[in-house]
Amino acid sequence: MATPYQERKMRDPALNPGDEPYFEAAAEGKLLLKKCNDCGEHHHYPRALCPFCWSEKVEWVQAKGSGEIYTYTVTRRGGPVPYCIAYVTLDEGPRMMTNIVDCDLDTIKIGQRVKVTFKKTEGGASVPCFAPA
Amino acid sequence: MTIKGKAYIVGAYEHPLRKAPNHSVAQLHAEVAKGALEDAGLTKNDIDGYFCAGDAPGANVWSMANYMNLSKLRHVDSTDMGGCSYLVHVAHAAEAIAAGHCNVALVTLAGRPNSEGSSGTQVRDRGVNLPEAPYEMPHSPVTINLYAMAAIRHMHEYGTTSEQLAWIKVAASHHAQHNPNAMLKNVVTVEEVVNSPMISDPLHRLDCCVVSDGGGAVIVARPEIAKSLKRPKVKIIGTGESTKHQMAGQVDLTYTGAAWTGPRAFEEAGVKPGDIQYASIYDSFTITVLLQIEDLGFCKKGEGGKFVSDGNLISGQGKFPFNTDGGGLCNNHPANRGGMTKIIEAVRQLRGESHPKVQVPDCRLALAHGTGGAIGHRHGSATLIMERE
């Protein structure tokens, strides 16, 4: 038994003011994080204030794009095709919600090393997904 | 200030319907309000506090207060914490009564997701301006996969198995067989649960709650009023509420907000987990029950799998009778929100009015706990401890 990854329709991100740089970078194949210049912490999803110390001195930084799977599940019913939703722990620290793609979904494991890859939404936006490293 | 002993649940009513295609949602709210008032032995003009949540038409108190023509209101609250809103409402009603802001509070819940074709595998729109939405919605988080991710992590860290989770459904089904209104009245086995279709690994169809129409209501009143009524007296002695989220990227799905609300409620009530004779535990999925049992301190973190196995949750057989109406897993889950029915079955147990086959003998101390939202990203938690006087 195998459950090969299949392309699926992904919803467009409904951007709020301030989200544009993240998705512009994604379109160029780059994953961004926010880093606080006061407390030094990375966070995700990106905010205008550091969620740890509430400093406004946050800046965009490019993530390495590598990490490991914290948890996941393959949703097999309800949609047109099975898909894997997951949290990936980035090497910079934050855990982000994503999809695991481009592999046999039945082989995915907690702790597995993954690297970022970008998939297009229905309207053509790029969103970060992860595939086995 | 504490709410301990400052307010009582004097009325409770659960709508008997599980599919109500010809009822409006407003009608369901009004019918459960009427049922709870009659149960209490009070009248409409006694109500001076009204509480409802996002399931009410318009998602605040205006439309339902208008529909029911509640004209004596001095205190209103439309706090929405998803499925645990009604436990929060009872706590807030007790606070309002203790502060002298109202005397008789009505709390209503109702909805028709069964008639409307709702499902836990649908992506739900949760509104505009959500800061997290651009980073989540393209990945299709749905109710079940947000719980399934917690289940897989729990299995990874603690060795919990699908068979252990299945025991939670088995216990609920043993209770539901005695409830003529339950949607799923057949007793099921561990094998039947783990062999039911896989929806989102590791949660099978029978790890899920039902989708039902209906609703429920409770009436909270000050002690002088409770003492003047004929019903058994159910005193509110401890409450806790909180919300847990993604911690700015430091996600931890191995525990829920119950780890915070439980200890606070126990401290206020002056009792320990081991004192509780009956517990209503929110059961959107089997994993929800297991995590909350651990977080509330009924067993150690990681030992929930062993604790729920071998019939330990079955009334009359095990040491920890839970959800004796069949719960959300078998009885009903009106409006996709199970908090109200958790309170109602705890009240029945304390009054000695649960079905005789599942009634806990001389039940004097009960707990109800709810989880709203989804433990996989953001959720509310609320705990209520009640005592029969």
* Token duo for residue B55: 């399931």
| Summary mean pLDDT of chain A | 97
SS3 A90: strand
Cα–Cα distance measured from residue B283 to residue B159, given in angstroms and rounded to the nearest whole number:
21
Instruction: Answer for the pair B115, B27: CB distance below 8 angstroms, yes or no.
Output: no
* Burial classification of residue B255, based on how many CB atoms lie within 10 Å of its CB (0-12 exposed, 13-18 middle, 19 or more buried): middle
Residues A66 and A113: their CA atoms lie apart, in Å, by 7
Q: Which of B26, B44, B193 is nearest to B111 (CA)?
A: B26
- Position B72: which residue type? K
How many whole angstroms separate alpha carbon B169 and alpha carbon B184?
Answer: 11
Higher local confidence (pLDDT), B119 or A25? A25
Return the axis-axis angle of helices B339-351 and B85-98, rounded to nearest 10°. Answer: 60
Task: Write out the two tokens for B228.
Answer: 């003047």
Q: Pseudo-torsion of CA B30, B35, B41, B45, nearest 10°?
A: 0
Residue ranges of domains in chain B: 8-117+208-388
Question: Which chain A residues are closer than 8 Å to B136 by Cβ?
Answer: 45, 97
**Cβ-based neighbours of A72, under 8 Å, separated by 6 or more:** A84, A85, A86, A87, A100, A108, A110, B149, B152
- Give the pLDDT of residue A123: 97
CATH fit for domain B8-117+208-388, picks 3.40.640.10, 3.40.47.10, 3.40.190.10, 3.40.50.620: 3.40.47.10
Quote the Cα angle for B106-B109-B112, to 5°.
150
Amino acid making up residue B324? T
Contact partners, residue B30, CB within 8 Å, separation at least 6: B64, B67, B68
Tell me if chain A has a CB within 8 Å of the CB of B123.
yes
Q: Is B134–A42 a contact, with Cβ atoms under 8 angstroms apart?
A: no
Cα(B236)–Cα(A3) distance, integer angstroms: 51
Of A41, A42, A99, the CB nearest to B139: A99
CA A24 to chain centre: 14
Q: Which two three-digit tokens encode residue B98? A: 């203790």
Q: Report the percent of chain A where pLDDT is more than 70.
A: 100
**How many angstroms away from the CA of B345 is the closest CA of chain A?**
32
In order along its 389 residues, chain B shows pLDDT tens digits of: 899 999 999 999 999 999 999 999 999 999 999 999 999 999 999 999 999 999 999 999 999 999 999 999 999 999 999 999 999 999 999 999 999 999 999 999 999 999 999 888 888 877 889 999 999 999 999 999 999 999 999 999 999 999 999 999 999 999 999 999 999 999 999 999 999 999 999 999 999 999 999 999 999 999 999 999 999 999 999 999 999 999 999 999 999 999 999 999 999 999 999 999 999 999 999 999 999 999 999 999 999 999 999 999 999 999 999 999 999 999 999 999 999 999 999 999 999 999 999 999 999 999 999 999 999 999 999 999 999 99
Of A45, A93, A121, the CB nearest to B138: A121
Mean pLDDT confidence for A93-102: 98
B278 closest CA partner among B346, B332, B327, B353: B346
| Number of separate domains in chain A | 1
Say whether pLDDT at A1 is over 80: no
Quote the tokens at residue B14: 């659960």
Q: Which two tokens stand for residue A71?
A: 């948890």
Contact B82, B380 (CB under 8 A): yes
Distance (Å) from the alpha carbon of A42 to chain B's nearest alpha carbon: 9
Look at A77 and B148 and tell me if their CB atoms are within 8 Å: no
CB B382 within 8 A of CB B294: no
Question: Cβ–Cβ of A14/B251 closer than 8 Å?
Answer: no
Reported as a single tens digit per residue, the pLDDT across A48-84 is 999 999 999 999 999 999 999 999 999 999 889 999 9
pLDDT at B229: 98
Interface probe, candidates A75, A81, A83, chain B, greatest B C-beta count within 10 A: A75
B chain contacts of residue A52, beta-carbon cutoff 8 Å: 248
Nearest to B287 by CA among B376, B366, B213, B195: B376
Measured between alpha carbons, how far is residue B43 from residues B11, B25, B39, B128, B272 in Å?
Answer: 11, 22, 10, 40, 37
What's the whole-number mean pLDDT along residues A17-38?
98
Angle, nearest 10°, between helix axes B143-158 and B286-295? Answer: 50
> ipTM score of the complex?
0.98
The string of DSSP codes covering A46-89 is: --SS-TTT--S-EEEEE---EEEEEEEEEE-SSSSS-EEEEEEE
> CA B371, CA A86: separation in Å to the nearest integer?
21
- pLDDT for the residue B125: 78
In a domain? residue A86: yes
Residue B240, Cβ density class (10 Å: 0-12 exposed, 13-18 middle, ≥19 buried): buried
Give the distance from residue A72's alpha carbon to the nearest chain B alpha carbon, in angstroms: 5
Expressed as residue numbers, the domain containing A76 is 20-132
**For residues B6 and B240, what is the distance between their CA atoms, to the nearest angstrom?**
15
Domain of A117, CATH number, reads 2.40.50.840
The per-residue pLDDT for B128 is 85
Q: How many CB atoms lie within 10 A of CB B128?
A: 8
A75–B152: do the CB atoms touch at under 8 Å?
Answer: no
The answer to whether B323 touches B175, Cβ cutoff 8 Å, is yes
